[in-house]
């Protein structure tokens, strides 16, 4: 070996020796290594002893301890640790420490590691909780560092709406309507923490990531905009940006992301959305609020239908068509999620709350929505939405169509205004007049009075025509009675009918003349029946003794249940409904007098008097504004009836009947058919008599 080679080997040796010397572990590090090795050896030994001696069934293996330590050191150091389902662990000076909260007991992790737990059952539960938490963190992959954090609240507010955003899940947890009060709270809350939760679920070939499990980092971009963001372990970002639209009930929600193609492959072109809500009560009267609670949804397309789950009983629907929006609504308020693009169908589930449930008086229904939206992991803004969180007020909802320039959102369909004809009357007549009057008059009781007078004035020609027809029929009553006496019995029924119709034709009267004008008024009466219970403007508005025109005006209450009718009638008496009933009985009496039907149809007479009592049963639980409207309407009708008596001269009516009789009249097709039927009946009766004689 030459001199140069020897020198080289010597230098290499010196370098290796120096590197080893300067990088040798300290005594503390040597002790920590020894402690970890001893801990692993102890765990393995205890696991072997457990298997042999039948001791504690569950132990953390050396591999699980190693994975646990890896989780505790991964990701952002400010979020290092495990905080999931009661398991709170962290790494302090290389040692795993923390507690496992089992609900009925808390176990220190050191007790689990050293098998010093109070009993085997508690130990097993603690070990199972740690393993479950570890499994959750492993499944979260690059999202794992966001499983721990602090639940903070960020608030955004405008004149109409106040929302609270939670860093846990990055969602809206509270939405308070500033101008509306609940019967048991200072503000109506469309969303309340613990009662409403929505989340997005992403996935790849081996993992799924549910955003409700993660802690987001909030960044307030300005007074009305907050970005809730997740920073993944590989540097990718995923977040939700919320913007509270000034002066409105709309919240803009946008998915924003960066580098997500490294987590979610491009072949995954949709993202799942899960929304669960316990619909809370806002009104003192639960019956109507529950009856008007459902999941509503609109099919995609400018003319797309708006449908809903059943408002009574449990219901679930699997919608295959694409949807534009999905809403959870009750009587007066809604939460509507509107997609910029669409929802890919959805599974919608509505469940009533059992009367035996402890939450029965607090909540209306349990709603569940499972759907998906188009998604691309390589786009910065793959999906956007609007959240409407506000009242079911027709002018307000109709204004929000501007948020979808290419499609009519039809949000006003959230308000139940009846079938097509009745909805048309409410939409184009009642609501515009009601809204216009509301601009100038502060009392809604006065507005209802004026609206009722306007409606009765418009219908007064029909009322007059109805009374005139009744007057003609009343004057013809003696002649009709004479016909009935001249042609008694069933065998003369056809002849009796023919003579009666001839009398009507000659006198220019009709038995339907009084009914037809009333039938023409029915659509308006039914339209008002659907309008008042849905009119949020009446909510909380007092008038006379009624504290709330959208609720029953109770003057007396009790606790006992009335058999058969209690579910309709309730456990109270409503004064406006009682006044409506008394007025209705009075009007029925006047109507029966004008028609002179006491002797002709005694059974019908009692039926007519029973109708107001039936209305009392069914209307007692309705909005006092509706009963007040019908009460005023009946009073005006009675006044119109007396006015007609003053203006209608019966002598002139009698003269008109005589004049009509004198006019030559062409036999109508109906009369011709009636006579032909009578002729055939008489011929058949003669043939029957001949056959009977032959048999004798």
Same-domain status, 305 and 372: yes
Q: Measure the CA–CA gap between 282 and 335, rounded to whole angstroms.
A: 14
The pLDDT assigned to 460 comes to 78
pLDDT of residue 681: 64
pLDDT value at position 600? 47
Query: What pLDDT is recorded for position 53?
Result: 37
Low pLDDT (below 70) residues in the chain: 1-57, 74-80, 116, 118, 138-139, 467-477, 479-480, 483, 486-487, 489-518, 564, 566-568, 593-605, 644-686, 688-690, 692-696
pLDDT value of position 518: 66
Instruction: Decide which of 139, 161, 193 is a domain's last residue.
Output: 139
Residues 412 and 474 in one domain: no
pLDDT at 471: 66
How remote is the C-alpha of 150 from its chain's centroid? 32
175 and 125 belong to one structural domain: no
Give the residue from 139, 164, 196 where a domain finishes.
139
* Same domain, residue pair 258 and 397: yes
Q: Is 6 inside a domain boundary?
A: no
Confidence at residue 598, expressed as pLDDT on a 0 to 100 scale: 41
Q: Are residues 111 and 228 in the same domain?
A: no
**Residue 662's CB: how many other CB atoms inside 10 A?**
9
User: Are 262 and 336 part of one and the same domain?
Assistant: yes
10 falls within a domain: no
Residue 84 lies in a domain: yes
Q: Does a structural domain hold residue 515?
A: yes
Three-state DSSP class for residue 214: coil
The domain of 320 spans 153-416
Same domain, 441 and 583: yes
191, 80: one domain: no
pLDDT for 328 equals: 96
CA 280 to each of CA 128, 286, 505: distance values in angstroms, whole numbers, following the listed order: 35, 10, 62
CB contact at 8 A, 234 and 212 = no
pLDDT of residue 424: 93
Query: Which one of 105, 139, 173 terminates a domain?
Result: 139
Q: Are residues 467 and 394 in the same domain?
A: no
Give yes or no: residues 526 and 382 share one domain.
no
The number of domains in the chain is: 3
Provide the pLDDT for residue 301. Answer: 86
Residue 191 sits in a domain whose CATH number is 2.70.98.90
State the pLDDT at residue 313: 85
The answer as to whether 239 is a domain residue is yes
DSSP classification of residue 259? S
> What's the Cα-to-Cα distance from 314 to each of 196, 279, 347, rounded to whole Å?
19, 14, 14
Residue 486, in any domain of the structure: yes
Q: Where are the alpha helices (DSSP H) in 383-476?
A: 394-399, 420-425, 431-438, 444-475
Same domain, 133 and 186: no
pLDDT the model gives residue 341: 92
Answer for the pair 89, 96: CB distance below 8 angstroms, yes or no.
Answer: yes
Domain assignment of residue 334, yes or no: yes
Q: Which of 366, 171, 198, 193 is nearest to 274 (CA)?
A: 198
Order of strands, edge to edge, in the sheet holding 225-231? 217-222, 225-231, 237-244, 250-258, 384-391, 333-343, 323-329, 294-299, 306-308
Single pTM value for the model? 0.76
Helix (H) or strand (E) holding 398: helix 394-399
Rounded to the nearest 5°, which phi and psi values hold at 505?
-65, -45
Q: What count of other Cβ atoms lies within 10 Å of the Cβ of residue 647?
A: 9
Do the domain assignments include residue 576?
yes
Query: H/E element holding 424?
Result: helix 420-425
Q: Are 615 and 540 within one domain?
A: yes
Q: What is the pLDDT of residue 231?
A: 92
- Cβ 348 vs Cβ 362: under 8 Å: no
Euclidean distance between CA atoms 187 and 175, whole angstroms: 10
Calpha distance 675→690 (Å, rounded) = 23
């Amino acid at each position: 070996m030459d001199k140069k080679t020897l020198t080289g080997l010597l230098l290499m040796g010196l370098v290796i020796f120096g590197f080893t010397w300067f990088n040798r572990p300290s005594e503390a590090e040597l002790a920590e290594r020894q402690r970890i090795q001893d801990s692993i050896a102890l765990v393995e030994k205890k696991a072997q002893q457990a298997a042999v001696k039948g001791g504690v069934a569950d132990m953390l293996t050396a591999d699980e301890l190693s994975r646990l330590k890896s989780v505790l050191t991964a990701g952002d150091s400010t979020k290092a640790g495990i905080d999931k389902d009661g398991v709170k662990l962290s790494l302090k000076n290389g040692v795993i420490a923390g507690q496992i909260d089992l609900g009925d007991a808390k176990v220190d992790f050191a007790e689990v590691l050293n098998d010093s737990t109070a009993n085997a059952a508690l130990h097993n539960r603690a070990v199972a909780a740690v393993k479950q938490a570890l499994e959750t963190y492993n499944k979260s992959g690059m999202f794992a560092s966001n499983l721990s954090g602090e639940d903070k609240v960020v608030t955004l507010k405008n004149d109409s709406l106040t929302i609270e955003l939670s860093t846990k899940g990055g969602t809206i947890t509270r939405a308070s309507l500033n101008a509306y009060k609940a019967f048991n709270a200072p503000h109506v809350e469309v969303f309340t923490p613990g009662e409403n939760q929505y989340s997005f679920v992403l996935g790849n070939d081996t993992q799924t990531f549910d955003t409700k499990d993660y802690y987001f980092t909030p960044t307030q971009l300005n007074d009305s905009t907050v970005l809730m963001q997740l920073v993944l372990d590989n540097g990718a970002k995923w977040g939700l940006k919320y913007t509270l639209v000034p002066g409105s009930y709309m919240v803009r929600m946008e998915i924003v992301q960066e580098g997500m193609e490294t987590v979610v492959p491009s072949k995954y072109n949709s993202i799942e959305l899960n929304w669960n809500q316990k619909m809370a009560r806002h009104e003192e009267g639960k019956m109507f609020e529950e009856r008007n609670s459902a999941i509503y949804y609109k099919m995609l397309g400018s003319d797309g239908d708006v449908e809903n789950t059943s408002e009574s009983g449990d219901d679930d629907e699997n919608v295959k068509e694409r949807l534009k929006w999905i809403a959870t609504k009750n009587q007066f308020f809604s939460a509507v999620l509107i997609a910029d693009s669409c929802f890919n169908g959805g599974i919608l589930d509505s469940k009533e709350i059992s009367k035996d449930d402890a939450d029965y008086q607090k909540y209306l229904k349990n709603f569940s929505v499972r759907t998906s939206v188009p998604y691309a992991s390589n786009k910065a803004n793959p999906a956007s939405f609007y959240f409407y969180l506000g009242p079911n007020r027709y002018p307000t909802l109709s204004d929000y169509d501007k948020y979808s320039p290419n499609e009519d959102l039809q949000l006003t369909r959230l308000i139940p205004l009846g079938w097509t004809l009745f909805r048309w009357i409410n939409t184009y007549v009642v609501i515009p007049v009601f809204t216009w009057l509301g601009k100038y008059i502060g009392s809604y009781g006065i507005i209802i009075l004026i609206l009722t007078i306007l409606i009765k004035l418009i219908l007064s020609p029909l009322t007059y025509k109805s009374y005139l027809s009744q007057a003609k029929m009343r004057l013809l009553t003696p002649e009709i009675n004479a016909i009935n006496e001249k042609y008694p019995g069933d065998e003369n029924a056809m002849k009796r009918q023919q003579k009666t119709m001839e009398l009507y034709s000659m006198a220019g009267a009709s038995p339907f003349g009084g009914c037809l004008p009333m039938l023409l008024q029915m659509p308006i009466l039914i339209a008002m029946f659907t309008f008042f219970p849905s009119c949020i403007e009446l909510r909380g508005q007092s008038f006379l003794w009624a504290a709330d025109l959208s609720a029953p005006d109770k003057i007396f209450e009790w606790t006992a249940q009335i058999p058969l009718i209690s579910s309709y009638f309730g456990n109270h008496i409503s004064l406006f409904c009682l006044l409506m009933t008394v007025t209705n009985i009075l009007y029925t009496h006047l109507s029966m007098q004008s028609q002179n039907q006491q002797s002709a149809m005694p059974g019908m007479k009692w039926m007519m008097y029973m109708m107001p009592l039936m209305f009392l049963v069914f209307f007692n639980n309705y909005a006092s504004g509706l009963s007040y409207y019908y009460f005023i309407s009946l009073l005006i009708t009675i006044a119109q009836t007396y006015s007609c008596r003053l203006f209608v001269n019966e002598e002139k009516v009698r003269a008109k009947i005589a004049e009509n009789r004198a006019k030559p009249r062409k036999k109508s097709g109906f009369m011709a058919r009636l006579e032909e039927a009578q002729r055939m009946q008489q011929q058949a009766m003669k043939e029957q008599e001949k056959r009977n004689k032959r048999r004798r």
